[in-house]
């Protein structure tokens, strides 16, 4: 596939833009993508995008939210807003109150729900399934949907019993 801009080089970057349910696709070569990227960065940076998506400091005063510091790398939340990246892995915990709304908006959840590496085995998938059933069970109880809650309770017991019997078989 050829680049949509220069029509000479092979397209290696593929952008998809969705505005008001209208999908526009753009296929670019590496050099045109760099030019387009610099052009887009001039209009708004990644940090501005992230800052705009977040309900910044929803649970804290604005100044207090921006001055929260990571105890490990001393990065502030204000630094994250400027740079668009966190300083270290501990920043996720340090900025949890500010990042949760952002992650929920971007990904639809504030925890990883994607693929599980093969090396992680079935344990991670089983834990995720059990947690999902527990969450659905709590919601069903709160909504007083007792028939659904009973089905979920039974499914939870079945999975827990299966897990117990599997662990006994492995001993």
- Show the low-confidence residues of the chain (pLDDT under 50): 41-45, 53-61
Residue 43 is predicted with a pLDDT of: 44
From 58, 73, 107, the end of a domain falls on 107
Sign of CA dihedral 41, 42, 47, 48: negative
Residue 154 is predicted with a pLDDT of: 95
Residue 73 is predicted with a pLDDT of: 92
Assess whether 33 and 68 both reside in one domain.
no
Residue 122 is assigned to a structural domain of this protein: yes
Record the pTM: 0.39
Assess whether 142 and 164 both reside in one domain.
yes
Q: State how many domains the chain has.
A: 3
Structure tokens at 130: 């059990």
Boundaries of domain holding 11: 1-43
CA distances from 14 to 1, 17, 56, 113, 133 (A): 10, 10, 31, 25, 38
Assess whether 64 and 34 both reside in one domain.
no
Assess whether 64 and 39 both reside in one domain.
no
Assess whether 37 and 76 both reside in one domain.
no
Residue 113 is assigned to a structural domain of this protein: no
Assess whether 96 and 133 both reside in one domain.
no
Residue 112 is assigned to a structural domain of this protein: no
């Amino acid at each position: 596939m050829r680049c949509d801009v220069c029509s000479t080089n092979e397209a290696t970057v593929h952008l998809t833009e969705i505005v008001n349910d209208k999908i526009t696709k753009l296929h670019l070569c590496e050099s045109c993508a760099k030019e387009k990227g610099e052009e887009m960065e001039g209009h708004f940076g990644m940090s501005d995008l992230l800052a705009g998506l977040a309900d910044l400091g929803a649970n804290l005063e604005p100044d207090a939210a921006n001055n929260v510091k990571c105890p490990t790398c001393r990065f502030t939340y204000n630094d994250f807003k400027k740079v668009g990246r966190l300083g270290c892995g501990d920043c996720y915990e340090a900025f949890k109150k500010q990042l949760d709304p952002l992650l929920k908006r971007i990904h639809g959840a504030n925890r990883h729900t994607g693929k599980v590496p093969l090396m992680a085995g079935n344990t991670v998938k089983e834990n995720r399934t059990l947690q999902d059933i527990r969450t659905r069970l709590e919601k069903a109880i709160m909504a007083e949907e007792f028939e659904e809650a009973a089905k979920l309770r039974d499914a939870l017991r079945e999975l827990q019993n299966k897990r117990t019997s599997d662990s006994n078989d492995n001993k």
